[in-house]
Amino acid sequence: MEWFADAIDQLGREQGKLPDKKKSFGDKRSKRSLVAKKDDRFAKFGAAIDRAEDKVEATAHSMQKEIEKNVEGIDKTKKSNDESEKDVKKDMEGCSPGKKDGDGKDVPMYLLAKDGTVQQLLPDGTLKPVDKNDTSGIHGLLESDGKAWRPESRAEKREVGVQDGEGKVVKSTRVDPYKDPLGQATQLARYANDDYETKHNYAAGRYIDPSDKSKELILIGRSDRGMHSERVIGYSLIRKGKQEGLDEVFTERAPCQKRNSRCDAWLAKHFGEHTKVTDAVPYDQLNGKREEGNVLHQAYVEKLKKAHGR
């Protein structure tokens, strides 16, 4: 924005010159008046010059007013732009969990994909492969090939799924995703993926190793072609028998309630009905408010995209 400030300075200098020119016209006119009184030969000539200067002065006055208006407008625009830049910066800083978690710790973050690929999500919004010497505890959740487990056979899918007759569900509460650490993690994941499509829902889970409470991770998943985001992060925990390590879950949209997924019932079955679950927008399928939830989700993602400068 340096050119913007230079333009304002230049207009300001031009504005300052106009009153000086006006004063100069007045001084010269006084001198011509004295000459005309002494010699009538200069009277008509002086009057013609006076009329010309009147026009120039009027034009200069009009220009001055216009410049003043433009400078004032530019000042307001610059101020507005500066404030917008500050707002974007504030929002961007707000959705970066790398600045520390709620208890002041740096918590490693990992982005899981539908195909089981796992990448480490860094606080600056970049992704990198999981280091083979990573000691965070992530390797304890992965298969020997370094991927998160995914059900393939019908029997496996049934085992880690949820049936229609299973009625217990988790209850989700609303939080501010710009302030919630797990909400911030999903925002950073969208930034890293450059993904602002509302067909994708992002979820994040806080995992604390049951056998070593010092090992805490944030697992992030994105819904993708039939696999919901909650399951993207949860399947490997079920496979490893570490469901109790899932301390809490954040999902952009509240967990779905209808078959075939029923994520509210799926979370309750595999992780406990009292698992802490939070969301950014409601998603009430049972009371005919599914589209309302989609509209709110779209508005949330569009705001996030703007905050990220994308």
50-62 pLDDT, tens digit each: 665 566 566 556 6
Q: How far apart are CA 44 and CA 140, in angstroms?
A: 102
Q: Closest Cα to residue 220, out of 305, 131, 119, 151?
A: 119
pLDDT of residue 267: 98
User: Across all residues in the chain, what is the average pLDDT?
Assistant: 81
Residue 210 CB partners (closer than 8 Å, separation 6+): 242, 244, 245
**Same-domain pairing of 85 and 174:** no
| Per-residue pLDDT tens over the stretch 266-301 | 999 999 999 999 999 999 888 888 889 999 999 999
Contact yes or no for 108/217 (Cβ under 8 A): yes
Instruction: Identify the domain boundary among 72, 94, 116.
Output: 94
Confidence of residue 69 (pLDDT cuts 50, 70, 90): low
What is the per-residue pLDDT for 94? 52
Question: Of 63, 94, 125, which marks where a domain is finished?
Answer: 94
Model confidence at 1, pLDDT cuts 50, 70, 90, reads very low
Residue 19 shares a structural domain with residue 116: no
Predicted local distance difference test score (pLDDT) of residue 289: 83
Q: What are the tens digits of pLDDT across the range 147-190?
A: 999 999 999 999 999 988 888 999 999 999 999 999 999 999 99
Among 94, 109, 142, residue at a domain's last position: 94
Asked if residue 244 has pLDDT above 90, the reply is yes
Q: Quick one: pLDDT band at residue 258, thresholds 50, 70, 90?
A: confident
- 142 and 174 housed in the same domain: yes
Tens digit of each residue's pLDDT (9 = 90 or more) over 92-107: 555 554 444 555 568 9
pLDDT of residue 39: 46
Q: Looking at residue 188, what is its pLDDT?
A: 98
66 and 6 in a common domain: yes
C-alpha 145: how far from chain center:
34
Sign of torsion, CA 280 281 283 287? positive
Given a contact cutoff of 8 angstroms between Cβ atoms, the answer to whether 219 and 228 are in contact is no
291 and 142 within one domain: yes
Instruction: Provide the domain count of the chain.
Output: 2
Residues 119 and 252 in one domain: yes
- Count Cβ atoms below 10 Å from residue 69 Cβ, excluding itself: 10
In this predicted structure, what is the pLDDT of residue 164?
83
Instruction: Tell me what the mean pLDDT of segment 38-63 comes to.
Output: 55
pLDDT tens for each residue of 192-230? 999 999 999 999 999 999 999 999 999 999 999 889 999
- Tens digit of each residue's pLDDT (9 = 90 or more) over 108-158: 999 999 999 999 999 999 999 999 999 999 999 999 999 999 999 999 999
Q: Domain containing 180: what range?
A: 99-307
pLDDT reported for residue 144: 96
37 and 113 fall within a common domain = no
Based on the fold, state whether residues 189 and 255 are members of the same structural domain: yes
Q: Report, as an integer, the average pLDDT of 78-89.
A: 52
Closest CA to 134 of 117, 109, 116, 113: 109
Q: What is the reported pTM?
A: 0.70
Domain match, 202 and 112 both = yes
| pLDDT (average), residues 67-74 | 55
Question: How far is the C-alpha of 138 from the C-alpha of 148, rounded, in Å?
Answer: 10
Q: What pLDDT sits at residue 243?
A: 98
Q: What is the pLDDT of residue 14?
A: 47
Residue 103, pLDDT score:
56
Same domain, yes or no: 249 and 173: yes
Are both 189 and 300 inside the same structural domain? yes
Residue 242 pLDDT exceeds 60:
yes
Q: Quick one: 47 and 123 in the same domain?
A: no
